Structure 1
Amino acid sequence: MSQTPGSRGLHTALKTAKGRSTASQRWLQRQINDPYVRAAKAAGWRSRAAFKLLELDERFHLLKPGLRVVDLGAAPGGWTQVSVQHGGERARVVALDLLPMDPVPGATILQGDFEDLAAEQAVLAALDGPADLVLSDMAPNTTGHTATDHLRIIALVELAADFARKVLAPGGAFVAKVFQGGTERELLNALKRDYAQVRHAKPPASRKDSAEAYVVAQGFRGGAARS
């Protein structure tokens, strides 16, 4: 059953714009009138991004009880919360971020760089085995220059995909944010070698004016993909 929030067309104006830039005013106006922001607060999710994972899961059936899940770039923790909720008591969910993050009951929170070997080893130790699902809602700081931003996020996805290749169990899945324009051919070909299915999706919770989409790779080939 879909957990997508609806909008009743209500509009709330900013009480004051004093001291705020035009861009800040636009961002705040969008936030207070975003049904996903309101629904996230009502449901106890830390961010509206939780709905993106819920919607991707509804389509691709990513989250199952007892899975070992790694959430890269996890702060503030919306995807971690969803992973814990769907994984149940037997699940092992590890959240990793460069920034400190408040605890999420049922998850292990690690602070560090996923590119570091020490972080990789800490993740595997916390999982007590290989991962079943690696999630990445990470995005680089944007410049406003479409081509530059596209190259930056593709580079980040390549690093996340390499991490997933090292920690995933055969049959596992990898989900990562990309920008419109899709996944670069070289990266897409590598994912297709590593996984049985690779698809793109833009969940309804992604804002219509946002360039973001997600690549969903399922059926990790394991040892064969690493050779």
Structure 2
Amino acid sequence: MARDKGGSRSTRGGGVTGRREAAVRVKTARGRTVSSARWLERQLNDPYVHEAKRLGYRSRAAFKLSEIDDQFRFLRPGAAVVDLGCAPGGWCQVAVQRIRPLETGGRIVGIDLTPVEPIAGVTLLHQDFMSDEAPARLKEALGGPADAVLSDMAAPATGHPQTDHLRIMGLAEAAHDFAREVLKPGGAFVAKVLRGGTERALLEQLKRDFRVVKHVKPPASRADSAEMFVVATGFRGGE
């Protein structure tokens, strides 16, 4: 267990606890809108943001994966994992810590349309996962079946809830289709969805393909965020 000078603590799962610090208030200023001031204030008062900086994570989203894995335990040493929509790399960093690819021979492959700075032990592909060539490139980089397929992909928000829901569900469905092609029997699938859960058709297919399917909102996911994650474990494979 690590402890910073301010008294906050991080467990194996990256959960953040500790004493409450005085809230920082941000005022609007020249060139700063009310919305940008609110965003900055939220960042300055977010313990996950501070802990991510302290631990060297590229984003607070790293804690979402670590908290999910604390519950389901699919990032085992030596595992082979694909991270879809991996920028800026926080989930890959967590995978490296738990899989230890340089020591165990595990494999981690990430893909994103946005360039990602190199991470030791991770193969990074700069490409849109939705392109026709992406699945073949991922399979080649992986070099064999996967133990887990992770998707934190999200389309740019339009502000129209129904449209945003359809877009993110389309990404989740594409990730699931890919997972079915590469997962080992017993493998795991994690994908971001929005509040309201997974569409019935996808949920029914997941229940056919996996032994256990659950919706999870990890503590690191902001309470005012509509995001959730569908976690499916025990891939049936050729059953």
Q: Same fold (TM over 0.5)?
A: yes
Contact 1:114 1:163 in 2 (8 A): no
Q: Once the two structures are superposed, what CA deviation does each residue of 1:45-104 show, in whole Å capped at 9, x if it has no partner? A: 000000000100111112100000000000000000000110012210001011111001
Cα shift at 1:115? 3.0
Matched, 1:34 2:46: yes
Which consecutive residues of structure 2, in runs of 5 or more, have no partner in the other structure?
1-11
Alignment of 1:169-184 (within 5 A): 169-184=184-199
User: Which of these residues, 2, 5, 14, is aligned with residue 3 of structure 1?
Assistant: 14
Contact 2:13 2:63 in 1 (8 A): no
State the one-letter code of the partner of 1:223: G
Instruction: For residue 14 of structure 1, report the CA deviation from its aligned partner.
Output: 3.1
Q: Does 1:130 align with 2:145?
A: yes
1:186 to 2:201 alignment: yes
1:71 matched residue in structure 2: 83
Change (3 A) 1:102 1:129: same
Check conservation: 1:115, 1:163, Cα contact below 8 A: no
Structure 1 counterpart of 2:29, from 17, 31, 38? 17
- Give the 3-state SS of the residue equivalent to 1:210 in structure 2: coil
1:128-167 equivalent positions in 2, closer than 5 A: 128-167=143-182
Structure 2: distance between partners of 1:192 and 1:105: 35
Q: What does the per-residue CA deviation read over 1:17-37, in whole Å, with 9 as the maximum and x for residues that have no partner?
A: 320121111111111111000
Partner-residue secondary structure (3-state), 2:211: strand
Give the Cα–Cα distance (whole angstroms) in 1 for the partners of residues 78 and 235 of structure 2.
18
TM-superposed deviation, 1:117: 4.4
Q: Distance in 1 between matches of 2:50 and 2:129?
A: 32
The reply to whether residue 213 of structure 1 matches residue 228 of structure 2 is yes
Identify which of 111, 117, 131 aligns with 1:116: 131
How many residues align structurally? 224
Take 1:142 and 1:188, find their aligned partners in 2: how far apart are those partners?
Answer: 23
TM-score, normalized by length of structure 2?
Answer: 0.89
Percent of aligned positions that are identical: 58
Q: 1:198 to 1:142 in 2, by over 3 A?
A: same
The change in CA–CA distance for 1:123 and 1:176 in structure 2 (over 3 A counts) is same
The letter for the 1-side match of 2:43 is Q
User: In the alignment, residue 74 of structure 1 is paired with which amino acid?
Assistant: C
- 1:82-93 mapped onto 2 (5 Å cutoff): 82-88=94-100, 89=103, 90-93=105-108
Bigger mean CA deviation after superposition, 149-158 or 182-191: 149-158
2-structure distance, mates of 1:10, 1:110: 42
Across the aligned residues of Structure 1 and Structure 2, the Cα RMSD in angstroms comes to 1.5
**TM-score normalised by structure 1 residue count:** 0.94
* C-alpha separation in 2, matches of 1:209 and 1:187: 25
Task: Report whether the alignment pairs 1:60 with 2:75.
Answer: no
One-letter identity of the residue aligned with 1:57: D
Supply the distance in 1 between the matched residues of 2:32 and 2:17 (Cα, whole angstroms): 29
Q: Which runs of 5+ in 1 are unaligned?
A: none
Against the structure 1 CA distance between its residues 62 and 17, is the aligned structure 2 distance closer, same or farther, given a 3 Å change threshold? farther
Deviation at 1:155, TM superposition (A): 1.3
Distance between the aligned counterparts of 1:67 and 1:156, measured in 2? 24
Pairwise CA distance, 1:145: 2.2
